[in-house]
Amino acid sequence: MTKMPLSKGLNAGLRAAMEADEKVLIMGEDVGRLGGVFRITDGLQKDFGESRVIDSPLSEQGILGTAVGMAMRGYRPVLEIQFDGFVYPAYDQIVSQVAKFHFRSAGKVKMPMVIRIPFGGGIGAVEHHSESPEGQFALTAGLKVVACSNANDAYWMIQQAIASDDPIVFMEPKRRYWDQGEVDLDHDPFPLHKSRIVREGTDATLIAYGPMVKTCLESADAAAEDGVNLEVIDLRTLSPLDLDPVYDSVRKTGHAVVVHEAAQTLGLGAEISSRITETCFYSLEAPVLRVTGYDMPYPPSRTEEEFLPGLDRVLDAVDRSLEY
């Protein structure tokens, strides 16, 4: 066990992946000499050279579009999108090209690439720096989407994503980059496309991913003081979803609350809620509730405390669920 912040977990994971496979390339704006604006790629160019850690032009469609050609040439590009709000110029290539190539070619062409996106709010940034576009990728067939929430997952999930032959959108909770956590370098990692119970409980189930996992754990701590015992599930994989642990939990607790920063309407919470209802209808003692961002563009940062789901809103939803 080694203690390190989530950002360092990613950095160490990237390093391990580059050491394991020389076809792994990193590409993005400022990823080389600067080590990325969040320093996730710190020191990698120095050790692996400019041909493997490529400072790209300021051109998101270029990053994704050239990566398609590189993947066709047998490389495994790992791409950094500097901030969530800047992925849209590349959206066309991700959705129309990356996601569809394997299908279009009847399995002849693989797109083994990882698209890293620091996402979510809570750092007091200016506009376009705090968005949650994960749902837009999760609804695109052909892509897989994962989100890490802690240093250990950061270290292992990035390596697993890079090793995958399918394209993976890798969401990084930017406000948790600096959170310290234990990383287990020696034991086999938890599988990539599996969700995980991170706190056991009996009264209600909280379902979250990325930055909201910590919020839910804190909520559970607070609820415990009032004698309410919450189970918390870290989804980890957003596409495909792994909901079996969720169903098991809901069958046990009868109450489910989904928590995410992205806007409510057509967000992942809608899908999860629908599936819980389809699968666990007779176990439910209350409708599945959601605690999410509001259906508005990300607001000025001085309002983000209220905009983002926090402890109080989560606990309020739990109360409403338990009162049914």
Nearer to other proteins, 76 or 174 (CB): 76
Q: Which residue, among 137, 113, 41, 135, has the nearest Cα to 82 in the 3D structure?
A: 41
Over the window 32 to 71, marking each residue x when it contacts other proteins by CB under 8 A and - when it does not, the resulting string is: -------------------x----xx-x-xx-xxxxxxxx
Give the amino acid at 249: S
Nearer to other proteins, 104 or 128 (CB): 104
Distance CA 6, CA 9 (A): 5
Nearer to other proteins, 11 or 66 (CB): 66
Pick the stretch among 38-46, 105-113, 120-128, 257-265 that binds other proteins (CB under 8 A).
105-113
Which residues have a Cβ under 8 Å from the Cβ of 38 and sit 6 or more positions away? 7, 118, 174, 177
Over the window 115 to 154, marking each residue x when it contacts other proteins by CB under 8 A and - when it does not, the resulting string is: --------------------------xx-x----------
Which residues have a Cβ under 8 Å from the Cβ of 168 and sit 6 or more positions away? 113, 114, 115, 143, 144, 145, 146, 161
Over the window 152 to 191, marking each residue x when it contacts other proteins by CB under 8 A and - when it does not, the resulting string is: ------------xxx-------------------------
CB atoms within 10 A of CB 141: 9
At its nearest, how many Å lie between other proteins and the CB of residue 116? 17
At its nearest, how many Å lie between other proteins and the CB of residue 6? 26
How is residue 281 annotated by DSSP?
G
| Catalytic residue (one of 129, 187, 193, 260) | 129
Among 21, 30, 92, 248, binds other proteins (CB under 8 A): 92
Which residues have a Cβ under 8 Å from the Cβ of 32 and sit 6 or more positions away? 41, 45, 50, 53, 54, 55
Over the window 241 to 270, marking each residue x when it contacts other proteins by CB under 8 A and - when it does not, the resulting string is: xx----------------------------
Count, residues in the chain: 324
Q: Which residue, among 309, 7, 262, has the nearest Cα to 150 in the 3D structure?
A: 7
Distance CA 245, CA 203 (A): 15
Contact flag: residue 106 with other proteins (CB under 8 A): yes
Among 41, 93, 195, 321, binds other proteins (CB under 8 A): 93
C-alpha torsion 218→219→221→227, nearest 10: 180
Nearer to other proteins, 51 or 323 (CB): 51
Contact flag: residue 89 with other proteins (CB under 8 A): yes
Give the amino acid at 162: I
Contact flag: residue 278 with other proteins (CB under 8 A): no
In terms of DSSP H, where are the helices of 100-150? 101-104, 134-138
Catalytic annotation present for 129 = yes
**Strand-pair partners of 27:** 54, 79
At its nearest, how many Å lie between other proteins and the CB of residue 168? 10
Nearer to other proteins, 51 or 188 (CB): 51
What residues act catalytically? 129
Judged by the rule CB under 8 A, the positions of this chain that interact with other proteins are: 25, 51, 56-57, 59, 61-62, 64-75, 89, 92-93, 96-97, 100, 102-110, 112, 141-142, 144, 164-166, 193, 239-242
